[in-house]
Amino acid sequence: MGVLISTLYRIWAINYPPTPPKNSSAIRVGILSTAWINSLAIITPSSSHPGVTIAAVASRSLERAAAYAERFGIEKWYGSYEELLADPGIDAVYIPLPNGLHAHWAQRALEAGKHVLLEKPFTSNASCAQALVNFHNSLPEPRPVLLEAFHFRFHPAWRFFLSLVAPMRKDRIEEASAQFSVQSGFFKPNDIRWEFDLAGGALMDIGTYSIAALRDVFGTEPEEVLGADVRMHENGGEGKVDEGVKAWYQFPGGGVGSIDGSIAERGWFGLPRIRIPKVMVKGKEVEVKGSDRAGNGEVHLKRRTLTMWNFPGPHFWHSIQILDQHTIRRAADGLTIKSWAESEYKTAYTWAWMATKIQDAAHWSTYRHMLDQFINKVQGKEGSGVWISGEDSIKQMKAIDDTYEKARLPVRLARS
């Protein structure tokens, strides 16, 4: 009951956060598009940040922009993205446009001197990602900030989970898996995710989370895509758009990682199915040196499995299980003498420093944590230390490209 109550409270707090007065030096942010994600990803999180003001919104329809601005209390609105970027009163932009437009408008924003918070996936493909990062690096210092908006990677729960994984890296991870799906019917038939020309597909949407999770878990890049199975969307992109994907990757040290995701998850008889997202890391069996549990001629072995439930949205609820499977074996012939399991569960909703600086951190969603680090970087302040570099975003896009190629599907293209 206590878990349910705390979860409900966090849901309420995240949607209705405190609204402190804005600083006189608050960063003025403009939003390119009126996408539904804006409220969750930038508008609501910024309301609790004294250093951020949502100052403008742009759409290709002036009427739509005006209605959106009135709905969310945004002071300026524009009927084109170019007009917003030309506004000298805008310091930074958030870009949640369709995937195929990310590279073009991120570069346009950087050219205009705006800091850029760019929705994932970073671009349509690795070549576009490399070109965008090269352009960003070519700008004179102090250059604008460019960040891929991979929100879950900024949350303390994910960082805590990775701290548990860290001792298992190099050659102690046997396998890892990341599962994240959305039930069939969640995205409508006319959703941009079904458009190949807009760089749509499950791997570009849900799959990006799972691939990023595996890369973080192993702390390195996959050496090879071992296999990739896709389920195609019946009407998407003339047979080029995937609605579900499973893939397997070989990582350095011998570990194998896998992803399983869908943006139209179905169960029996084609009915929508809901699965709790999770990341599981299974370690190799290792000897417990100096154990007092093993007698003469016996060895004490331990295998650790770490599982994090709801890794994409840990701010609402999450659970991290630490499961240790112990085995006592006879050294001479490997016969099992005894075995038992030890399990504990952990959560991490705040950073250590937040306990003393923030009275109630329940409203800090993954997006709020990400926004905080973005603004810290813009203002040259020290933050949590979590960041996603341009090089990281390039490697992420390469893993996506390699997966599509293994599945014999075309790499996604960019548009202007």
Q: Cα separation of 215 and 251, whole Å?
A: 9
Domain contains 170: yes
Chain centre distance of CA 200: 17
Q: Cα separations (Å) of 222 from 216, 253, 255, 353?
A: 11, 10, 10, 34
Query: Can you give the residue range of the structural domain that contains 269?
Result: 153-362
62, amino acid identity: L
The segments of the chain whose pLDDT lies below 70 read 1, 235-238, 355-359
User: E-strand spans in 79-160?
Assistant: 92-95, 115-119, 146-149
Per-residue confidence (pLDDT) for residue 360, from 0 to 100: 72
Which residues, at least 6 apart from 118, have a Cβ–Cβ distance to it below 8 Å? 95, 102, 106, 146, 147, 148, 149
Question: How much is the pLDDT for 203?
Answer: 97
| Bridge partners, residue 322, by sequence | 306, 344
CATH number at residue 288: 3.30.360.10
pLDDT recorded at residue 356: 61
Which strands make up the sheet holding 52-58, listed edge to edge?
Answer: 76-78, 52-58, 27-32, 92-95, 115-119, 146-149
Which of 101, 65, 98 lies closest to 83 in space, CA to CA? 65
Q: In this structure, what DSSP letter does residue 139 have? A: S
In a domain, 135, yes or no: no
Within-domain flag for 262: yes
Residue 217 lies in a domain: yes
CB 212 within 8 A of CB 238: no
How many helices (DSSP H) and strands (DSSP E) are in the chain?
12, 15
204: phi then psi, degrees, rounded to nearest 5: -75, -15
Respond yes or no: is residue 120 known to be catalytic: yes
* Residue 338 and residue 328 in contact, taking contact as beta carbons nearer than 8 Å: yes
What total number of domains does the chain contain?
A: 1
174 is a domain residue: yes
Query: Long-range contacts for 302-305 (Cβ within 8 Å, ≥24 apart)?
Result: 302/326, 302/327, 303/327, 304/168, 305/280, 305/281
Nearest Cα neighbor of 387 from 398, 399, 400, 376 is 376
Cα separation, 372 vs 394, whole angstroms: 23
Tokens of 42: 């930038």
398-156-160 Cα angle (round to 5): 85
Does residue 166 form part of some domain?
Answer: yes
pTM, 2 dp: 0.95
Bridge partner list, 158 = none
Distance CA 17, CA 5 (A): 17
| pLDDT of amino acid 383 | 84
In a domain, 212, yes or no: yes
Distance from C-alpha of 374 to C-alpha of 179, rounded to nearest angstrom:
28
Q: Distance (Å, rounded) from C-alpha 72 to C-alpha 262?
A: 32
Angle, vertex CA 350, rays to CA 278 and CA 174, nearest 5: 35
Give the active site residue among 114, 120, 282, 406.
120
Residue 4 lies in a domain: no
